[in-house]
Structure 1
Amino acid sequence: MQLFLLCYNSILTIYILLTMEIISSHRIRLRTWQPGDKSAFVLMNADKRVMEYFANTLTESETEALIARITSHFERHQFGLWAAELKETGDFIGFIGLSIPTFSSHFTPCVEIGWRLAHAYWGKGLATEGARAVLEYGFNQLNLDEIVSFTTASNQRSRRVMEKIGLTHREEDDFNHPNLPLTHPLSRHVLYRLSKSQWRHRVRPVGF
């Protein structure tokens, strides 16, 4: 009986992991959100370093509202900002995924690739690795024609990731974010784009 229970629990654990996982790369698992992600996500969104290029850090209730919006996006579109964890440890490290912006601009409607990682996981190439896997999923599984990304003009870290994964920037695409006052220091945004045909010519194996 004990052997049966041990085998059953092992199979159940494997099943749960497989059903949770949506996208996989060499070091990262992108999966559905779980209740246990909340505490680490709250801390991450309260970190001024992580939120440097956002209008403000988030309170616990604001993070809960963000999780609700992410969940709602998945329900409407069957894709979204997946929770990211390290395969080796299972640690939650942030999110990487795709979303549809809710504001109007010259390039919308569109699908945006985005990421946000806890500070402890910066500088390790994890955002780039995960974003490449998401691009592959977006173009191959979702059959998207184009994926964009944008950030405030001064956010050089995110811009480097966009460039590493093959997105390109044209100055004439830059815009003022409609959710921020024109006088706000983060108002001016840069737009990066990648079409499916461009991606096919630039594609690299996921995890490299």
Structure 2
Amino acid sequence: MKTFHVESERLLLRELRVEDVEGMFALDSNPNVVKYIGIPPLTDKAQSLEYIHNIQQQYEEKGIGRWACILKETNEFIGWAGLKIEEKLSDFGPYHDLGYRLREEFWGKGYATEAAKISLDYAFEVLGWNDVEACADFDNKGSNHVLKKIGMRHTRDSMYEGIPLHWYKITKLEWLQKISIG
């Protein structure tokens, strides 16, 4: 299996592993966490294990997938973040997607923003992507705030399976301009 290791001041982002199943289940079984993403809360750890295996398959097939988000101070799994090649959500075809999902007790501490920033760095510096997109439910104020805060610009709105989505994008040039002015 492909391994990843990216760090920020407080976070370690690494490949998802089978041993992350407890943390994944704690994440996706919480109704508040999955409220805006169109899935019901998970009820069985086997569902979390299947999710981990699907991401590991993305690593092998696409060379990228979501990463486990680990709090360096405690070595605790707090959620996932990172990149993937999304093929379903957009009418415009496959695109480079940025995403994150954190356990509720870690909301509001800047971790999603920190993880999203280092994911963009990886997308542009390591993968050499020219752009990255993301979407968030209209009502998900926290996620919409994070995407704007990291420099993504709102590009359009759409519906996906009855969920109204705001779409955001950042190009490599926009990202380079953002980091050059600090």
Task: Report what 1:195 is aligned to.
Answer: 171
Aligned AA (1:108): G
| 1:58 partner amino acid | L
Q: Is the 8 A contact 1:21 1:29 kept in 2?
A: no
**Range that drifts further, 120-129 or 30-39:** 30-39
Deviation at 1:188, TM superposition (A): 1.4
Residue among 25, 28, 43 paired with 1:59: 43
1:89 aligned partner: 74
Question: Offset at 1:105?
Answer: 3.0
SS at match of 2:88: coil
1:150-182, Cα deviation, whole Å (9 max, x unpaired): 011111110000011110003xx21111xx1xx
Unmatched segments (≥5 aa) in structure 1: 1-18
TM-score by length of 1: 0.80
Asked if the contact 2:16–2:66 (Cα under 8 Å) also holds between the matched residues in 1, the reply is no
Superposed CA offset, 1:37-71 (max 9, x none): 10121121000111111221123232222112111
Q: Which runs of 5+ in 2 are unaligned?
A: none
Q: Does 1:49 align with 2:44?
A: no
**Contact (CA 8 Å) 1:149, 1:192: kept in 2 or not?**
yes
AA partner of residue 68 (structure 2): A
Could you say if the C-alpha distance between residues 200 and 45 of structure 1 is closer, same or farther in structure 2, counting changes exceeding 3 Å?
Answer: same
Moved more, 95-104 or 70-79: 95-104
Q: Which moved more, 1:35-44 or 1:54-63?
A: 54-63
Report the secondary structure of 1:36's partner residue.
helix
Residue 120 (structure 2) pairs with residue 151 (structure 1): no
Q: Which amino acid aligns with 1:138?
A: A
> Which string of whole-angstrom CA distances, capped at 9 and with x for unpartnered residues, describes residues 111-167 of structure 1?
100000111111110010111011001001100010000011111110000011110
Structure with larger Rg = 1
**Hey, what does 1:139 align to over in structure 2?**
124
Paired residue type of 1:49: N
Q: Percent identity?
A: 30
In the alignment, residue 107 of structure 1 is paired with which amino acid? Answer: F
Distance 2:92 2:22 in 1: 35
Q: Equivalents in 2 of 1:76, 1:134: separation in Å?
A: 19
Q: Please report the RMSD computed on the Cα atoms of aligned residues, expressed in angstroms.
A: 1.9
Q: Answer whether contact 2:87 2:95 (CA < 8 A) is retained.
A: no
Q: Does 1:123 align with 2:108?
A: yes
State the TM-score, normalized to the length of structure 2. 0.91
How many pairs are equivalent? 179
1:36 Cα deviation after fit: 2.1
